[in-house]
Structure 1
């Protein structure tokens, strides 16, 4: 029988291994639920944050480790890098997705064979891994070549600009010629204005042709990170099929919506390995996160207990449904056309979505040093509707747009104007950006590129819902609500303990998951 199926009251403590752990979004959620978490992370800045937060961490590439290194882990979680699939359906992204699905099918065929031997299964994995490593090595060579050509092209461009300046061309003329060169438009090097630059222009154009060829070769090879999305599946297979190891009792994986076809293929393999599974597209604001963000989640549990859908606790944000003159801050008016969304799966009324101002005001109650701004509008660093000049906007009394690694570049202006707030109020601080991701306001962001760490993280409040749902199926609806309410309160007031030292590969001694 599974440990999960026999979990006592209070809920059992699980030992969780988190792959691609980032700064600790899932980890801090697991921590407030009372579980023990170890993360593997290859970004040194994220490791610095994890260390300051007291999150147990192994530094390095997940591919260097294996499931056998951590035989006492009971639950596997993770969110492999998603850049490969963010353009799925078009060009390289679609091909990368198709490649991964084919690899999963090969692994599924291997574990489905009657009396499949571990040696046969591991051979298939080695063939896949070797092929991916060879492609990654080839891609690195081509990227080095690309950098060299780009550098030479930059030198040529500067030489053309200098020659045009020396011959007295106007700034407008120079700008037009350089723009044409950048866009690879045809220029007649024999023309009266450019004849003296013939060789420079021909060399520049030839380098441009070579650069396009290099880009095409890189696209054909695919992103070297493609194989990372296969790692969690292989770890589950290894724990399930390798002699001497026991299967994980539960698996939780999350990523951008484009990865959902991968999770659905995963679910087929996990079913063969004895797991009950559920894939779900989750809207973060529907779980109390003050931000609109969609995540594709795979949940799996060993044994015969089904996994129902995770019930939404809050209403979804629908900006186009807000009637003129209504108050968006109530979170009510924008859901009136969707009466079926007023209650969750258990018939309990949903709460209003949480606005930026509501979340930041609560955080100021814990950390008064946070800026206390007047009504504001966030002007995104990104273009919208395909127009880079049109910036998306969200007012303070609605949920934030998706928090990305560029969150620190968003402008904050007085609501209803294009007038910037004073400098001390004009950008979100790391603590505030973290709060919009539902990190505790006291989370100790450390290292460089903190905005990127925050943008890449799993929203802890979403992780609370998923982990509780998968790891505590025995709770009644009433018990689950009480458990989540307490966990949310504990998350908001969480404070870091003593910093911990980050381990590296091979530093197994004394670690509870390694048994050494």
Structure 2
């Protein structure tokens, strides 16, 4: 494996997922995260935080890093939310063009004036890039944010970065889930920014047998987590409102111990049950939405944790 120990990542809105990858690669991390559950999860896995609030940018002074990564909160842009960020897209793009990101105090006042202040957090990584000039930058968000990354790209190119912006599909990189995300990659080391080549096929929901040539087959849920324990009935896991009485108790006509299970997603359906997609465990998962406590119950009842 390539040695990444000389790289240090300043990770904004860190959560814990990317931190695991950074740790596995042997790189160093300065994480910025304020959610108590995420902080507790990080610390339980040997990953601490540098400071909590991305607005406290002065605390990053002296934190040497060559890479910046960020995945700002998505609720105001997500198809599962109310869409205030999507509605205010022209305002956001104008603010980026006007250079509001140069001054963190002006940026925060502007963010606080928005319908949902979380929307303004999407512009915060641009201030960090402007202030610290890291060699490498990566950003991730829901597809609706792509126009913001495109506006970023124009600014970053003016700073001397090579930039790539576009949508990538998670299942094409071995993730057992079909999740499209808007990605920005930038670098100023003299090389061209470009996305990694897919290692796996796209999943074609209308033709699951179709596979892209020259790459591995997509990874299914069953491939990733194995079968249901034999003493558990095969469940249906429903995102966004599963009845607790049904957890771990729906068999879909199959006998207990059958290794197959079903996931029902209401992501982007507006709560309309008729629009819910269903995926078997022999397929990649769709995106499912649920409150953390409810999802924990689903996992406990369905998988025997």
Q: Given the two structures, how large is their TM-score scaled by the length of structure 1? A: 0.49
> Is 2:210 aligned against 1:355?
no
Query: Equivalent residue for 1:74?
Result: 66
Q: How does 1:160-239 map to 2 (within 5 A)?
A: 221-239=114-132
**Superposed counterparts of 1:115-514, under 5 Å:** 121-122=102-103, 125-133=104-112, 135=113, 221-239=114-132, 247-322=133-208, 333-335=209-211, 341-342=212-213, 349-361=214-226, 373-380=257-264, 382=266, 388-390=272-274, 391-406=276-291, 426-428=301-303
Provide the aligned C-alpha RMSD in A: 3.3
Q: How does 1:15-164 map to 2 (within 5 A)?
A: 15-22=8-15, 24-66=16-58, 68-86=60-78, 92-107=84-99, 121-122=102-103, 125-133=104-112, 135=113
In structure 2, the CA distance between the partners of 1:75 and 1:363, relative to structure 1 (3 Å rule), is farther
In structure 2, how many angstroms separate the alpha carbons of the residues matched to 1:425 and 1:56? 27
Corresponding position of 2:253? none
Whether contact under 8 Å (1:407, 1:428) holds in the other structure is no
More helix by share: 1
Distance across 1 between alignment mates of 2:75 and 2:165: 20
* Alpha carbons of structure 1 residues 129 and 383: separation in structure 2 relative to 1, 3 Å: closer
Q: How many residues align?
A: 277
Provide closer, same or farther for how the CA distance between residues 353 and 379 of structure 1 changes in structure 2, counting only shifts above 3 A.
closer
Deviation track 1:297-353 (CA, whole Å, cap 9, x = no partner) reads 11111132102232111011112114xxxxxxxxxx233xxxxx31xxxxxx20000
Distance in 2 separating the partners of 1:44 and 1:126: 25
- Give how far 1:14 is off: 0.5
* Structure 2 residues not aligned, in runs of 5+: 230-247, 249-255
Conserved? CA contact 1:84–1:96, under 8 Å: no
SS in 1 for 2:285: coil
Partner Cα distance (1:407, 1:383) in 2: 15
- Find the aligned partners of 2:185 and 2:120 in 1 and give their Cα distance: 21
Distance 2:259 2:142 in 1: 31
User: 1:126 offset after TM fit, Å?
Assistant: 3.5
CA contact (8 A) 2:266 2:289 kept: no
The residue aligned with 2:238 is: none
C-alpha distance 428-283 of structure 1, shift in aligned 2 (>3 A)? farther
- Cα distance in 2 for partners of 1:288, 1:91 equals 30
Tell me how far apart the structure 1 counterparts of residues 20 and 157 of structure 2 sit (CA, whole Å).
29
Report deviation, 1:388: 2.4
- Contact kept in structure 2, 1:377 and 1:393, CA below 8 Å: no
- Alignment correspondent of 2:236: none
How many Å apart are 1:75 and its aligned residue? 0.9
2-side partners of 1:362 and 1:27: how far apart? 28
Q: Please name the residue that 2:243 is paired with.
A: none
Conservation of the 8 A alpha-carbon contact between 2:76 and 2:83: no
Q: Which TM-score applies when normalising by structure 2?
A: 0.79
Q: Answer with 1 or 2: which has the greater Rg.
A: 1
